[in-house]
Amino acid sequence: MSNKSVKQRLVEYMMANGNNFTYTEMIKALLLVNKGPDYKYDWKKDRGYAATNFSFRGYMTNGGGSCGVYKNDQGKWSAKMYTKDEMIDHKINRNVSTLVSIIKKLSGDMYWNRNMIMNNMEDGQAKTMSLINVMADYSYEVDRIKNDCIKNITKQIKKIK
C-alpha cells in the first residue's frame, strides 16, 4: 500500500487522466483508488460514496494539505497540487476568518452586556465602572485570540514543506 493519502492518490490519478471529470467520474476514480482496479462501479450501491468529502468544507475540497479537488470553469472537477504560497495563504485566511468570526461574536456579547448595564443600573458611576470592566474583558479576549491566532499560523507555516 502506498504511503500517500487517498486525496493525494486521487489528485494524481485525475491529473494523469485529463483532469476534467464529472462528479460521477471522480467518484469512480476514487473507488478505483480505494478499492483497486478490479472494482466494478454500482450506481445504486456507490451513490453518495464519500459525498461529504466533496462538500464545501470537505476533506477533498477544503484547501488544506498539499493538494485537492475543485470545480473548474466548465462545471466539472479538476485536481491540483498546491504551491507553498497557496498553502500558506490558505492557512492564514482560515485562521483570520476564524478570528474575525470570534471577534464578531465578542462584539455582539459586548453590545448586549453594555445595553444590559445601561438599562439596569441607576448609579452613573457604577454604570461607568461596569462598562470599563466589560470593555477591558473584551480587549483582553481580542488580544488573547489574536496572539493564539499568530501562534497557530506560525506553527502551521513551519509544518509546510
Q: What pLDDT, on the 0 to 100 scale, is given for residue 85? A: 84
Tell me if 154 sits within 8 A of 160, measured CB to CB: no
Average pLDDT for 124-131? 64
Q: What pLDDT, on the 0 to 100 scale, is given for residue 77? A: 96
Handedness of CA 9, 10, 11, 14 (dihedral sign): positive
Please report which confidence band the pLDDT of residue 67 belongs to, taking 50, 70 and 90 as the band edges: very high
Radius of gyration of the chain (CA): 24
**Beta-bridge mates of residue 67:** 81
| Residue at grid coordinates 476534467 | 20
Please report which confidence band the pLDDT of residue 41 belongs to, taking 50, 70 and 90 as the band edges: very high
**Confidence check: pLDDT of 117 > 80:** no
Average pLDDT for 114-129? 62
- CA atoms of 61 and 67, how far apart (whole Å): 9
- CA atoms of 142 and 153, how far apart (whole Å): 16
| Residues written for the chain | 161
Q: What pLDDT, on the 0 to 100 scale, is given for residue 136? A: 65
- CA atoms of 21 and 75, how far apart (whole Å): 9
Average pLDDT for 80-108? 79
**Confidence check: pLDDT of 61 > 80:** yes
Q: What pLDDT, on the 0 to 100 scale, is given for residue 48? A: 87
Tell me which of 13 and 123 has the higher pLDDT: 13
- What percentage of residues in the chain have a pLDDT greater than 90? 38
Average pLDDT for 49-77? 89
